[in-house]
């Protein structure tokens, strides 16, 4: 019992600390504050109702033994027997009422804890850096958000209630039993710890096996998610049978681990029940002999029989409680693996909450970056003023994406500084930075909601006129008639019902709707035909020149629209300047211009 209590209260303390660490500001008192007055009242009510219900359950056997002794010794008249029976029945009904109320409290507390913990965990994941989240498989995170959170909530609410009830019942019962008959109480004192020991021996491997089940469930969920997301590739390559066989193998391993867990859990109940049968036989044998010798009254023997019945559920529930606590601790350790991570690029003491970014210029000052010990960028140095349009190009692997990641502060440079409006991005609050800029990526993420809801993520209170304008700028309004319900069309998970070009234009429209001071197009016109690309550029370039714009592209026609072009190769600045000047000098930009000119001539000849 001491070990079980230690496990429970240690786990509860860890849960409280974990909940506090996921909140802002982090402090041990955050969980108590977030639980609120109603939650505290529920906890106190649970303890009080458990105490009252326990006292009623122990009073009834004592009163029944008194009735039997009175009948045998004094021969009570029928009227008095009826009165005693009425008192017994009334006490039983009152005890049943408190017992019912006692069980309702943890049932109401369980979803509250699940909601709090799941909400905090989700918020914590959103605060982590991109690479921190990507280190975890999506299916594994989903498993932690669902089954692991439920296991921890059940440990705190249901497991805690069962443990408190068992402690109250066993403590008061043994105090009464030793006062009534020490010899029979010693039988119970030997029997119950023996059954608890058997339960511990059977269930001590539950934590390890449950952890294995949860890990395999995360793997299974991830595999299913990847299969559904890549269904077109699977069907296109004709590998349905291969994927199905792999799924069958993973699922078989998941079932095997579940069966191994059940082989430990299932025997606990019948073994506990068998122990009570043996205890009942021992009481009848020893207590019956004492009654025959006149050392014990029949009422006391019946009273102990009733105590054995009362103690049956609290003792049996210890096995279930141990299962909940061991499962909960295993799940708690999995949750702590995530919640112990803190964003490496969070706001700090150097953050200036009043930073002014109105001038909008961008500057990289001798910036170098290494990832995992491998140099990625070397001495990047350039600047562009507010209102200018910067084009970035270079061969694959040149470092274009990493340069944007530094601007978005997904990484911090090893050397040098990245500045916006003259301020180092490391001193800018994350919220200020992400309101200042918007990016339309090459592979945009669209959510399983309507097209309008996806666009309004950038500005939920956008007017119909603002929405119509960004649809026009992104040349998306001409495609609305192709969609079944126009803007109200549900576009499916990750926008699978749209073409690649439509998804990119949705990302552009969403970025424009946020009216950023810095607009970034990260090769977000690569899936659009040249005519549509020319239309989009003609419409959005005036918008971007009122602010600051960055266009990452391999198309010469697009880069010619920029004021400055930055050419990267092997993580270094190879060329930087106006596109006309770069085109006149030997280098990557002029080579790309010549290749595209020849390609256009060949296409014209083929036509």
Is 387 inside any structural domain? yes
Summarize the confidence of residues 280-299 as an average pLDDT: 84
Distance from C-alpha of 505 to C-alpha of 539, rounded to nearest angstrom: 13
* 334 in the same domain as 391: no
The three-point CA angle 392-394-395 to 5° equals: 150
Summarize the confidence of residues 490-509 as an average pLDDT: 80
Summarize the confidence of residues 204-221 as an average pLDDT: 76
CATH number at residue 89: 1.20.1560.10
Q: Hey, which bits of 434-510 come out as E strands?
A: 437-440
Q: Is 550 helix (H, G, I), strand (E, B) or coil?
A: strand
| Backbone CA torsion sign across 215, 219, 224, 226 | positive
* 86 in the same domain as 172: yes
Q: Do 84 and 67 contact (CB within 8 A), yes or no?
A: yes
Q: Is 568 helix (H, G, I), strand (E, B) or coil?
A: strand
pLDDT at 347: 63
Phi, psi of 548 (to 5 degrees): -130, 135
170: tokens are 């066993």
Is 432 inside any structural domain? yes
Q: Do 266 and 288 contact (CB within 8 A), yes or no?
A: no
Q: Is 440 helix (H, G, I), strand (E, B) or coil?
A: strand
pLDDT at 503: 87
Residues 6+ away with beta carbon under 8 Å from 325: 4, 7, 8, 11, 155, 159, 163
The three-state (H, E, C) secondary structure of 133-179, written as one string: HHCCCHHHHHHHHHHHHHHHHHHHHHHHHHHHHHHHHHHHHHHHHHH
Distance from C-alpha of 508 to C-alpha of 439, rounded to nearest angstrom: 8
Mean per-residue pLDDT over the chain, rounded: 79
Number of H helices, E strands in the chain: 22, 10
Phi, psi of 572 (to 5 degrees): -125, 155
Categorize the per-residue pLDDT at 493 as very low, low, confident or very high, splitting at 50, 70 and 90. low
Summarize the confidence of residues 124-143 as an average pLDDT: 74
430: pLDDT strictly greater than 50 = yes
Beta-bridge mates of residue 365: 417
Is 355 inside any structural domain? no
Categorize the per-residue pLDDT at 204 as very low, low, confident or very high, splitting at 50, 70 and 90. low
Q: How many CB atoms lie within 10 A of CB 529?
A: 10
Q: Do 290 and 183 contact (CB within 8 A), yes or no?
A: yes
The three-state (H, E, C) secondary structure of 515-541, written as one string: CCCEEEEECCCCCCCHHHHHHHHHHHH
Domain ends where: 288, 304, 339? 339
pLDDT at 12: 47
Q: How many CB atoms lie within 10 A of CB 571?
A: 22
Distance from C-alpha of 273 to C-alpha of 275, rounded to nearest angstrom: 5
Distance from C-alpha of 367 to C-alpha of 213, rounded to nearest angstrom: 46
Structural domain containing residue 488: 362-606
* 319 in the same domain as 395: no
Residues 6+ away with beta carbon under 8 Å from 580: none
* 367 in the same domain as 279: no
Is 286 inside any structural domain? yes
Smallest Cα–Cα separation from 287: which of 270, 273, 274, 304?
304
pLDDT at 141: 79
Summarize the confidence of residues 16-40 as an average pLDDT: 46
Is 549 inside any structural domain? yes
Smallest Cα–Cα separation from 50: which of 175, 165, 174?
165
Q: Do 552 and 400 contact (CB within 8 A), yes or no?
A: yes
CA distances from 374 to 92, 130, 369, 525 (A): 75, 19, 9, 30
84: pLDDT strictly greater than 50 = yes
Summarize the confidence of residues 439-451 as an average pLDDT: 84
Is 497 inside any structural domain? yes
Q: Do 458 and 438 contact (CB within 8 A), yes or no?
A: yes
pLDDT at 364: 92
Residues recorded for the chain: 607
* 261 in the same domain as 201: yes
pLDDT at 416: 92
Q: How many CB atoms lie within 10 A of CB 173?
A: 22
Is 197 inside any structural domain? yes
Categorize the per-residue pLDDT at 75 as very low, low, confident or very high, splitting at 50, 70 and 90. confident
CA distances from 227 to 28, 213, 240, 498, 499 (A): 42, 21, 9, 19, 20
Categorize the per-residue pLDDT at 92 as very low, low, confident or very high, splitting at 50, 70 and 90. confident
CA distances from 328 to 105, 198, 334 (A): 19, 21, 10
Q: Which residue has the tokens 């690309």?
A: 533
Is 346 inside any structural domain? no
pLDDT tens sequence across 535-580: 888 888 888 888 888 999 888 888 888 899 999 998 999 999 999 8
* 458 in the same domain as 543: yes
- Bigger pLDDT: 348 or 230? 230
Summarize the confidence of residues 429-436 as an average pLDDT: 80
pLDDT at 605: 67
* 305 in the same domain as 190: yes
- Bigger pLDDT: 375 or 430? 375
116: pLDDT strictly greater than 80 = yes
Beta-bridge mates of residue 437: 518
The three-point CA angle 54-57-109 to 5° equals: 40
pLDDT at 596: 78
180: pLDDT strictly greater than 90 = no
Smallest Cα–Cα separation from 153: which of 109, 122, 213?
109
With b meaning 16 or more CB within 10 Å and e meaning fewer, what string describes 209-241? bbbbbbbbbbbbbbbeeebeeeeeebeeeeeee
Categorize the per-residue pLDDT at 583 as very low, low, confident or very high, splitting at 50, 70 and 90. confident
Residue 294 zone, left/alpha/beta (φ > 0; ψ -120 to 50; rest)? left
The three-point CA angle 258-150-325 to 5° equals: 70
pLDDT at 25: 38
Reply yes or no: is the peptide bond before residue 359 cis, omega within 30 of 0.
no
* 372 in the same domain as 273: no
Smallest Cα–Cα separation from 593: which of 603, 582, 607, 602?
582
* 181 in the same domain as 328: yes
CATH number at residue 576: 3.40.50.300
Q: Do 21 and 340 contact (CB within 8 A), yes or no?
A: yes
The three-point CA angle 119-339-427 to 5° equals: 95
Q: How many domains does the chain have?
A: 2
Percentage with pLDDT > 90 across the chain:
6
CA distances from 164 to 87, 201, 309 (A): 28, 22, 18
Residues 6+ away with beta carbon under 8 Å from 171: none
* 186 in the same domain as 95: yes
* 438 in the same domain as 300: no
| Backbone CA torsion sign across 41, 47, 48, 53 | positive
Summarize the confidence of residues 302-323 as an average pLDDT: 77
* 121 in the same domain as 221: yes
């Amino acid at each position: 019992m001491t070990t079980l209590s230690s496990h429970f209260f240690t786990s509860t303390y860890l849960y409280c600390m974990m909940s506090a660490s996921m909140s802002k500001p982090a402090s041990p008192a955050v969980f108590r504050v977030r639980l609120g007055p109603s939650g505290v009242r529920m906890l106190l009510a649970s303890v009080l109702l458990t105490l009252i219900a326990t006292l009623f359950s122990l009073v009834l056997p004592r009163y029944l033994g008194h009735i039997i002794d009175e009948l045998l010794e004094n021969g009570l008249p029928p009227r008095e027997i009826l009165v005693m029976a009425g008192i017994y029945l009334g006490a039983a009904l009152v005890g049943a009422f408190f017992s019912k109320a006692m069980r309702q409290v943890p049932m109401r507390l369980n979803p509250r804890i699940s909601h709090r913990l799941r909400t905090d965990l989700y918020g914590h994941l959103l605060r982590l850096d991109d690479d921190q989240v990507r280190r975890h498989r999506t299916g594994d995170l989903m498993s932690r958000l669902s089954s692991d959170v439920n296991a921890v909530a059940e440990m705190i609410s249901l497991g805690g209630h069962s443990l408190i009830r068992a402690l109250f019942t066993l403590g008061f019962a043994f105090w009464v039993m030793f006062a009534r008959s020490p010899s029979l109480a010693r039988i119970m004192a030997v029997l119950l710890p023996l059954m608890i020991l058997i339960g511990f021996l059977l269930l001590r491997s539950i934590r390890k096996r449950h952890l294995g089940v949860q890990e395999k469930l995360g793997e299974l969920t991830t595999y299913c998610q990847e299969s559904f997301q890549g269904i077109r590739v699977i069907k296109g390559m004709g590998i349905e049978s291969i994927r199905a066989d792999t799924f069958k193998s993973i699922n078989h391993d998941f079932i095997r681990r579940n069966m191994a867990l059940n082989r430990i859990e299932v025997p606990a109940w019948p073994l506990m029940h068998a122990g009570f049968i043996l205890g009942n036989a021992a009481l009848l044998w020893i207590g019956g002999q004492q009654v025959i010798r006149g050392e014990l009254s029949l009422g006391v023997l019946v009273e102990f029989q009733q105590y054995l019945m009362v103690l049956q559920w609290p003792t049996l529930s210890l096995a279930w409680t141990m299962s909940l606590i061991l499962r909960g601790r295993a799940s708690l350790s999995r949750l702590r693996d995530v919640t112990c991570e803190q964003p490496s690029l969070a706001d700090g003491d150097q953050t200036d909450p009043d930073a002014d970014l109105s001038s909008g210029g961008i500057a990289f000052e001798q910036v170098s970056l290494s990832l995992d010990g491998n140099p990625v960028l070397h001495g990047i140095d350039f600047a562009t003023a507010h209102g200018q349009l910067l084009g970035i190009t270079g061969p694959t692997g040149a470092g274009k994406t990493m340069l944007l990641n530094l601007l978005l502060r997904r990484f911090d440079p090893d050397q040098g500084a990245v500045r916006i409006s003259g301020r180092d991005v490391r001193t800018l609050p994350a919220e200020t930075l992400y309101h200042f800029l918007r990016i339309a990526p090459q592979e945009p993420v669209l959510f399983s909601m309507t097209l309008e809801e996806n666009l309004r993520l950038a500005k939920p209170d956008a007017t119909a006129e603002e929405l119509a304008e960004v649809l026009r700028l992104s040349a998306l309004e001409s495609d609305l008639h192709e969609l079944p319900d126009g803007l109200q069309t549900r576009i499916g998970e990750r926008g699978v019902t749209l073409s690649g070009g439509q998804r990119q234009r949705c990302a552009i429209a969403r970025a424009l709707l946020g009216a950023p001071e810095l607009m970034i197009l990260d090769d977000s016109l690569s899936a659009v035909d040249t005519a549509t690309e020319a239309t989009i550029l003609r419409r959005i370039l005036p918008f971007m020149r009122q602010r600051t714009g960055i266009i990452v592209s391999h198309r010469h026609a697009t880069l010619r629209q920029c004021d400055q072009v930055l050419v990267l190769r092997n993580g270094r600045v190879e060329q930087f300047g106006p596109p006309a000047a770069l085109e006149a000098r030997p280098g990557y930009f002029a080579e790309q211009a010549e290749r595209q000119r020849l390609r256009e001539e060949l296409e014209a000849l083929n036509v």
